[in-house]
Amino acid sequence: MDILSGVRFPIDESDRKPLGRTGEELPAIGIGTYGIRDYRAAEEALTHAVELGMNLVDTAEMYDSGRAEELVGRVARRVGRDNIFIVTKLMPNRFVECSETMRAAQASLRRLGLDAVDLVLIHWPNPSVPIHLQVRCLERLVDAGMARYIGVSNFDADQLAEAIISTKRHEIVADQVKYSPLDRRVENRLLAACMEHGVTLQAYTPLERGAVASNTILIKIAQRYGKTPVQVALNYLISRPGVVAIPKTERVERVEEFRGAMGWRLDKADISLIERLF
Ligand X SMILES: NC(=O)c1ccc[n+]([C@@H]2O[C@H](COP(=O)([O-])OP(=O)(O)OC[C@H]3O[C@@H](n4cnc5c(N)ncnc54)[C@H](OP(=O)(O)O)[C@@H]3O)[C@@H](O)[C@H]2O)c1
Q: Say how many Å lie between the first and final Cα of the chain, rounded.
A: 18
Which is nearer to ligand X, 7 or 45 (by Cβ)? 45
How many Cβ atoms are within 10 Å of 276's Cβ, its own excluded?
A: 8
Q: Which residue lies nearer to ligand X by CB, 208 or 267?
A: 208
Piece in contact with ligand X (CB under 6 A), picked from 140-148, 206-214, 219-227, 269-277:
206-214
Question: What value does the CA radius of gyration of the chain take, rounded to a whole number of Å?
Answer: 18
Q: Does 159 bind ligand X (CB under 6 A)?
A: no
3-class SS of residue 246: coil
Q: In the complex with ligand X, which residue's Cβ is closer, 7 or 20?
A: 20
- 191-229 as b/e, with b when 16 or more CB fall inside 10 Å? bebbbebbbbbbbbbbbbeeebbebeebeebbeeeebbb
Alpha helices in the chain (DSSP H): 39-51, 67-79, 98-112, 131-143, 157-166, 190-197, 216-225, 229-238, 252-259, 268-277
Q: What is the largest CA-CA distance in the chain?
A: 54
Q: Of 26, 9, 50, nearest to 252 (Cα)?
A: 50
Q: Does 85 bind ligand X (CB under 6 A)?
A: no
Residue 174 as a binder of ligand X (CB under 6 A): the answer is no
| Annotated catalytic residue 63 | yes
Question: Considering 34, 39, 63, 149, which one is annotated as catalytic?
Answer: 63
Q: Using the rule CB under 6 A, which residue among 14, 210, 224, 269 binds ligand X?
A: 210
Please report whether residue 251 would count as binding ligand X according to CB under 6 A: yes
254 binds ligand X (CB under 6 A): yes
- Cβ proximity to ligand X: between 239 and 249 the closer is 249
Nearest distance, CB of residue 144 and ligand X, angstroms:
23
**DSSP state letters, 108-168:** HHHHHT-S-EEEEEESS--TTS-HHHHHHHHHHHHHTTSEEEEEEES--HHHHHHHHHH-S
Among 249, 262, 265, 271, binds ligand X (CB under 6 A): 249
Distance CA 213, CA 11 (A): 23
Q: State the minimum distance, in angstroms, from the CB of residue 3 to ligand X.
A: 33
Q: Shortest distance, CB of residue 257 to ligand X, whole angstroms?
A: 5
Task: Count residues binding ligand X (CB under 6 A).
Answer: 27
Beta carbon of residue 198, minimum distance to ligand X (angstroms, whole number): 20
Which of the residues 12 through 71 are near ligand X (CB under 6 A)? 32-35, 58
- Is 257 a binding residue for ligand X by CB under 6 A? The answer is yes
Phi–psi pair at 177, nearest 5 degrees: -140, 165
Q: What minimum distance in Å lies between the beta carbon of 34 and ligand X?
A: 3
Nearest Cα neighbor of 254 from 67, 38, 79, 88 is 38
Judged by CB, which is closer to ligand X: 176, or 200?
176
Residue 206 found at the interface with ligand X (CB under 6 A): yes
**Catalytic residue numbers?**
63
Q: Which residues bind ligand X (CB under 6 A)?
A: 32-35, 58, 89, 123, 153-154, 176, 204-210, 213, 230, 246-251, 254, 257
